[in-house]
A and B are shown apart, each in its own frame.
Chain A
Amino acid sequence: MSSLPSAPTKPPLWRDIRVLRWAFQLLVLALVIAFVYWLYGNYQTNVARSSIPTDLRFLDNPANFTMPGNDLDQSQPVRDAFVQGFYNTLRVSIVGILLTTVLGTLVGIARLSKNFMVRTFATAYVELIRNIPLLLLLTFMNLAVILQTFPRIENAWLPLNLFVISNRGIAIPWFTGSGGILLAVLASALVLTWIVVKIRGRVSDINGKPARGLTWGLPTFIVVMVAGWIVLGYDWVLPFVDDRATSGGLRLDPSFFALLVTLVVYTSSHVAEIVRGSIQAVVKGQSEAADALALSGGQKMRLVILPQAFRIAMPALGNQFLNLIKNSSLGATISYFELTQIAQITVGNGSPAVPAFTLTLLVYLMISLVTSVIVNIVNRRLALVER
């Protein structure tokens, strides 16, 4: 009978798999560090030669430019300009994301419509927009539509007497009076409506009659808003042309409008495809089960298909939102004063390029990370609800 061989021999270092793994990693790390160091070295020599500052002190320098439509004094530091640019980026991104979701979902559903005309229309829209570059669309909106098609202020279009459309922008009816009061009323209206809908839900659970959340909720909302109007006295104001400008209402400056419309149209075509794909991915059996339960078409969509489709679509949708935010940087090509445009202008006015653009990149990174985190949270909540 054999016996066990003597105690195990320790493998020589150069054959030990653990040593090899770490040696390889350290080698890779060393290569990367060496490369980065080389880049940095080049940077230092080149910059020293051209005597350009490399820190962030330029943020304190006066901006030396104004942004029409935003109130920024010429003498205010560059830092404030950046903040304003950041704010503008957020503005166009958030509104854009909201509008895109709505439009994209509608078009996506339309792609699956049984009506031939609607289906073809939606398909044509998606196929047309998806295949052309975003910049082309933006240039078209800007140069062709706004600068050429939109009339000059003297001949402004006045659809329904509610809007004023000219090449200076679009003016929509808006509220006067304190914005704060309006928000407060809006918030309380929403809260009350939500409470009413919840109560109706509970009542319906108890006595079995339909909740009719909409029929109760909508009037509640309207009642609160109107009450607020009467009591607190904020008001709508219709814009009108006054000499060579518009007065009253909210004026959306042309580049904001162009950028917003372009981003929404472009991104919604991608969103439409995602929505369509995810609706089709909801297993056919679900649809059949819903039919077997005699749910109506609308109920089936609302209660069975869309919730599941939404869960499937969420990661891809999050991606599109990120794309929209990043694409907003193209606003710089049409003089919309978002973050990238600010960076470009200040660099043109003498701020050092590398720190300025690096700062810009970092801000975008931060926005992307925050958005990703939010999307992940939504994703996880949707998944949790499953199990």
Chain B
Amino acid sequence: MSKDVFTDATIMSGGRTDDDAIVVMDNVYKRFKDFEALKGVNFKVGRKEVVVVIGPSGSGKSTLIRCINRLEEHDDGRIIVDGTELTTDIRNIQEIRRETGMVFQNFNLFPHLSIMSNVAIGPRQVRRMPKSEAEALAMELLTRVKIPEQAEKYPAQLSGGQQQRVAIARALAMKPKVMLFDEPTSALDPEMINEVLDVIKELANEGMTMVVVTHEMGFAREVADRVVFMAEGEIVEVGTPKDIFDNPQEERTKKFLSQIL
């Protein structure tokens, strides 16, 4: 039932995406005890592409991206990230986790480490970068997200918007090929949403491949190359922002949009 997301994209986005898909999900199923979260999902993401996933709660959008970096284990189907397949092979799993970065709804910064250490911990421990080099990289990223002065502080001392920007810097420090955003602004007070969205928009403009699960429709309209609407574990409709928001085809899409917009 799910559309082959990729074919539509090449046609609709006028050659902006590269040929090779960097993330491929083929007929993926995921079950939780008695509940099927993903039902035969076919999903591809091209390089430098920004895909925004929308849908009602329980539709499986979070499960979708959490399967990509193995925070959830898919039960059936295949997932391939940048040529490496996601199986029970521990080496593959670690490699895929290195090449993907994730930003969580609740930031999940490490409260007992300083901001600097939070950002540097990935490169130091996983890529075995020497301390000075990692810290220089961290400062560069903190400047990029516009909070270099907070480097020596602790997460509890920062506002939500600042914490989330640190989380983005922390993910970027691993120089990932794909960035995964799981409702990055849902836990923020309204006045701080924009500062985070601005950072994400900049990242998109610089050509980072991204999959963003969000409720921010304005953001989707502005930045997405493709919008994917999910409901009840399936991909229901795919298209450019213009297609999905202005001219939805499926009933469920129309219903969802009428409730949100």
With an 8 A cutoff between CB atoms, is B177 at the interface?
Answer: no
Q: Which segment of A3-11, A147-155, A250-258 sits at the interface? A: A3-11
Contact in complex: A4, B26 (CB < 8 Å): yes
Contact in complex: A4, B80 (CB < 8 Å): yes
Contact in complex: A18, B83 (CB < 8 Å): no
A2 and B19 alpha carbons, distance in the complex (Å): 7
> B87 is contacted by which of A1, A4, A11, A20 (Cβ under 8 Å)?
A11
Complex contacts, B243 vs chain A, CB 8 Å:
none
With an 8 A cutoff between CB atoms, is A16 at the interface?
Answer: yes
**From residue A12, how far is it (CB to closest CB) to chain B in Å?**
8
A16 and B93 alpha carbons, distance in the complex (Å): 10
Contact in complex: B85, A8 (CB < 8 Å): yes
Query: What are 15 contact pairs spanning A and B, CB under 8 A?
Result: A1-B7, A2-B19, A2-B20, A4-B78, A5-B80, A8-B78, A8-B85, A8-B87, A9-B85, A10-B87, A11-B91, A16-B88, A16-B89, A17-B88, A20-B90
Task: Give chain A's interface residue range (CB within 8 Å of chain B).
Answer: 10 to 19
Contact in complex: A11, B80 (CB < 8 Å): no
**From residue B71, how far is it (CB to closest CB) to chain A in Å?**
14
Interface contact tally, CB-CB below 8 A: 39
Complex contacts, A5 vs chain B, CB 8 Å:
80, 83, 85
Q: What mask results when residues 2 to 45 of chain A are scored 1 for a CB within 8 Å of chain B, else 0? A: 10110011111001111010000000000000000000000000
> A1 is contacted by which of B19, B78, B90, B92 (Cβ under 8 Å)?
B19
Complex contacts, A11 vs chain B, CB 8 Å:
87-92
State the interface size on chain B (CB cutoff 8 A).
19
Where chain B touches its partner, the secondary structure class is mixed
A20 and B87 alpha carbons, distance in the complex (Å): 14
Q: Which residue of A lies closest to B6 (CB)?
A: A1
> B89 is contacted by which of A1, A2, A4, A15 (Cβ under 8 Å)?
A15
Q: Which residues of B from 116 to 147 have beta carbons under 8 Å from A? A: none
**From residue A5, how far is it (CB to closest CB) to chain B in Å?**
7
**From residue B226, how far is it (CB to closest CB) to chain A in Å?**
16
Q: Which residues of A from 220 to 238 have beta carbons under 8 Å from B? A: none
With an 8 A cutoff between CB atoms, is B10 at the interface?
Answer: yes
Q: Which residue of A lies closest to B91 (CB)?
A: A15
**From residue A370, how far is it (CB to closest CB) to chain B in Å?**
33
Q: Which residue of B lies closest to A8 (CB)?
A: B85
| Contacts beyond the supplied A5-B85, A11-B90, A16-B89: 8 A-B pairs with Cβ under 8 Å | A1-B10, A5-B80, A8-B85, A8-B87, A9-B85, A9-B87, A12-B89, A17-B88
Complex contacts, B89 vs chain A, CB 8 Å:
11-12, 15-17
Q: What mask results when residues 78 to 122 of chain B are scored 1 for a CB within 8 Å of chain A, else 0? A: 101001010111111100000000000000000000000000000
**From residue A48, how far is it (CB to closest CB) to chain B in Å?**
48
With an 8 A cutoff between CB atoms, is B53 at the interface?
Answer: no
CB-CB under 8 A for A17 and B90, given A5-B85, A9-B85 = yes
**From residue A21, how far is it (CB to closest CB) to chain B in Å?**
10
Complex contacts, A2 vs chain B, CB 8 Å:
19-21
Q: Which residue of A lies closest to B73 (CB)?
A: A17
Q: Which residue of B lies closest to A4 (CB)?
A: B26
With an 8 A cutoff between CB atoms, is B28 at the interface?
Answer: no
A12 and B10 alpha carbons, distance in the complex (Å): 37
With an 8 A cutoff between CB atoms, is B24 at the interface?
Answer: yes
A17 and B73 alpha carbons, distance in the complex (Å): 12
A45 and B10 alpha carbons, distance in the complex (Å): 79
A12 and B90 alpha carbons, distance in the complex (Å): 10
**From residue A88, how far is it (CB to closest CB) to chain B in Å?**
49
